[in-house]
Amino acid sequence: MSVVPWAPPCPVTEIIGRERELITLCGRLTDPSVRLVTLTGPGGVGKSRLAVAAVRAVAAEFSGVWAAGPAEDPRTAGEDLRSAGEVIAGAASGRPLLVLDDADLGVRSPADAVATLLTEVPGLVVLVTAREPLRLPGERLVPIGPLSVPGPMAGAGAAPGADSAPEPDPDELREFGAVALFERRARDADPSFALTAENGRAVAALCTLLDGLPLAVELAAGRLRLFPPQTLLARLRRNTTVLAGGSANAPERHRSLAALAASALAGLDGTAREALERLAVYERGFGMSMAEPAFEAVLETLLERGLVASVDEEHVEGTQFGGPEPRFAVPEPVRSYCRTEAESAGRADAALDAHARRYRDLVAAAGPRLGGTEQVRWLRILEAEGSNVRAALHRLRVRGDGEAVAAMTLGCRLPWLVQGRLREGLHRCDEVTEEHPGLPEAVHGRLADMAGVFALALGDPHEAVRRHRRAIALGKSSGDRRQGALASAHLGVALLAAGEPQGAHPVLVTALSTLESLGLTGAAAEAAAALAAVLRADGKRRKAQELLDRSLESFRRVRDARGLAGALRIAASMALEGEEPERADRALRESLRLYESIGERTELPGLLEEFALLLRRVTPGQQPRMVRLLAAADRLRAGLGAQVRDEWRSQAERARTELSARLGWTDFATAWAEGVRMSSRTAVAEALSAPAPARGADAAPVVADRPPLTPRQVQVALLVGEGLTNRQIAARLDLSEWTVVNHVRQVMRRLGCTSRVQVAGAVGRWA
């Protein structure tokens, strides 16, 4: 271990996306109680660059800064250590700092050497960069991971049939550290490069594919001299380790992703390496319960070395465990490297087949549980494992296993509907039908019926009718009474959507009778709800209400969240026709909560629009919130690629025109922009925060045992209830934004509220 005075290198490139980590690291180094700080993270994440930036920032706090490299010859490590200690102790008075970069790349761990140095040199502070902790007493860790990425985006080189989505906003993309770094390095390589709406999707997909690893992002950005982002993305999808061409003065392991991955796997024992190779076939975000049980024994080792990462995604209940299950991923470029190695050694097919079997079994196990008490849990599991389910389906298709492909596709009907994967679902049904004509007629009938469901969800009821009629014919030919009844129920729904209630009525009556006789409670409840809608359209409100009540009771009994939410929307529509806005409000709010519980995407845009129009009718003071909900619905529907009925579109357009006139163009545009940025979850929260319709006499804005609100606080509370932001309230009342913040705090304290949502609810009760 040779120690030399540290010469601060001239920064060639700036630190991007590491502001928080830099502050944390500087704080650790200047803490008088801390003597050993280890900066951990996978190779290529930028540990050395961050360490240099931190040392430059705090160098004045130390009597001297020294640099050391790892011991290369274990036979002389002890002698080098003694020399290092003597050099630092003799040359520095006070509190010296030693920087030990890439400490775990030597022949042996530097832990013993560092422990001895800390003992022999009083006041010495050691900063270590390494993939793993040294595990010494008093060691303070500063772990750093890859930069933030936008996540998967539809349309970026997706498979045929993938859902469409609006082009991303470049300013929003720049908020992700990986995209900001890519743009900066891309401009270094090509000064004419600009992040735009046209290339933003490909850039986002590149950064996500590379897991936000800074070295990988920089190498990819450098390739823009040769390829545009879309072409580069297509080249890297199969294997990211082809990226090379790092800085001329960079270590060999940083000149290509293949070399970086090889160095990351160096020293890994055979068992862990085999497990990693098999895990490399999994897509990002798998639950450990889906991996082979033997892998758990080496998981901790792989996690500590950064060869497996815990991904920052919502936890879901596991398939084998009662509590939440974390999600994992093998990061790039390790994943591509391991897959390439496995292919070269002839081991890839076995790993891919094992992966496909596990996810085929998962979908099969989920099927019976998707229509009852476990629906919410299993829909969440299948959503979390969605990318792996699709990868398994692709593998089975490559294998030519038509029966398995058809069974797995049919098992994905409800999950794909809930997730909004409509075009993909329709495409998959047609693909299986075309590629495997020899499958039994009953299977083709189920595929045709499933395709009709997706066609209707995409807004094409006439195409849905055509496909459902084919499904019924195939069901009759095969003698599948159950499937014939299900397809008939779906046909009735499609006929109603196509504006043919007279044709829908007899179909639904027959389907309902058959489904009830077969004991298919959930399907019968769905048919009953559809028949109630037909009867309502025919003016038979009493019969419609009786049938709908039966449907609601059945859905509640079997705890079918999605079916219940759909029936509640019909109940809300009927309540509004009967001038019962409070009942309609309660039904739509419950429907929103149910959709949120299962992660519903297909039906959510329509429900948000229905709720916004209800607010327009019963709570006219909520104009900004109405605009945000309509904008969120518009954006979410665009992501689905679905069309809306002309009648409903004109109704929504009239509402937008009226709101624009009442608010003024500036406030309308501001609220619309806020709504467009909302996620589905945020949009549901926005809707549920709206005050309920008035239920009686005005209530005074006073809470027992708390001081009453001042007139100004009442004004602020009312505007909060309308959904205005602090900035908008400040502009409306001609106050400073900080004054509004203080008023809002006082309102929350005096009303006993802990959030703006609760304030809005209290304001609604005053009304």
For residue 698, the model assigns a pLDDT of 39
- Nearest-10 crossing angle of helices 481-497, 501-517: 150
Which one-letter DSSP state was computed for residue 195?
-
For residue 2, the model assigns a pLDDT of 66
Q: What residues does 40 pair with on adjacent strands? A: 130, 143
Helices (H), 345-421: 348-366, 375-384, 386-399, 402-411, 413-419
Query: pTM for this structure?
Result: 0.80
Range 140-167 average pLDDT = 67
Give tens-digit pLDDT for 552-569: 999 999 999 999 999 999
With contact defined as beta carbons under 8 Å apart, do 114 and 126 qualify? yes
Q: Which residues contact 377 (CB under 8 A, 6 or more apart)?
A: 316, 317, 369
Name the one residue in this structure whose structure tokens are 């020899």.
438
All structural domains of the chain, each given as residue ranges with its CATH number in brackets, are 3-143 (3.40.50.300), 259-346 (1.10.10.10), 610-688 (no CATH), 711-766 (1.10.10.10)
Whether pLDDT at 373 is above 80? yes
What's the rounded Cα separation, in Å, for the pair 33 and 47?
23
Range 632-647 average pLDDT = 86
Stretch among 322-331, 472-481, 636-645, 662-671 having the lowest mean pLDDT:
322-331
CB atoms under 10 Å from CB of 53, counted, come to: 19
DSSP 3-state of 678:
coil
With contact defined as beta carbons under 8 Å apart, do 547 and 528 qualify? yes
Give tens-digit pLDDT for 462-509: 999 999 999 999 988 888 899 999 999 999 999 999 999 999 999 999
Whether pLDDT at 765 is above 80? no
For residue 166, the model assigns a pLDDT of 61
What's the rounded Cα separation, in Å, for the pair 66 and 732?
59
For residue 409, the model assigns a pLDDT of 97
Q: Please give the radius of gyration of the chain, using alpha carbons only, rounded to the nearest integer.
A: 31
Give tens-digit pLDDT for 702-756: 444 455 677 788 888 888 888 888 888 888 887 878 788 888 888 887 777 777 8
What's the rounded Cα separation, in Å, for the pair 493 and 470?
15
Work out the pLDDT band at 701, boundaries 50, 70, 90.
very low
Phi, then psi, of 64 in degrees rounded to 5: -175, 150
Give tens-digit pLDDT for 438-465: 999 999 999 999 999 999 999 999 999 9
For residue 291, the model assigns a pLDDT of 82
Name the one residue in this structure whose structure tokens are 């299993």.
378
Work out the pLDDT band at 315, boundaries 50, 70, 90.
very low
For residue 707, the model assigns a pLDDT of 59
Three-state SS string across 68-126, please? ECCCCCHHHHHHHHHHHHHHHHHHCCCCEEEEECCHHHCCCCCHHHHHHHHHHCCCCEE
* Token digits of residue 301: 């080792």
For residue 694, the model assigns a pLDDT of 62
* Token digits of residue 635: 């954006």
Q: Which position has the higher pLDDT, 611 or 763?
A: 611
| Chain mean pLDDT for the chain | 86
- 724-749 in b/e form (b: 16+ CB < 10 A) is bbbebbbbebebeeeebeebbebbbe
Our CA angle for 429, 168, 213, nearest 5°, is 90
Q: Write the single-letter amino acid at 374.
A: E
Whether pLDDT at 247 is above 70? yes
Whether pLDDT at 697 is above 80? no
Whether pLDDT at 271 is above 80? yes
Work out the pLDDT band at 524, boundaries 50, 70, 90.
very high
How far from 397 is each of 408, 432, 435, 437, 440, CA to CA, in Å? Answer: 11, 9, 9, 14, 17
Torsion of CA 358, 359, 365, 369, to 10 degrees: 150
For residue 324, the model assigns a pLDDT of 65
Q: Which position has the higher pLDDT, 669 or 2?
A: 669
Stretch among 80-89, 322-331, 727-736 having the lowest mean pLDDT:
80-89
For residue 159, the model assigns a pLDDT of 39
Summary count for the chain: helices (H), strands (E): 36, 11
Three-state SS string across 179-194, please? HHHHHHHHHHHCCCCC
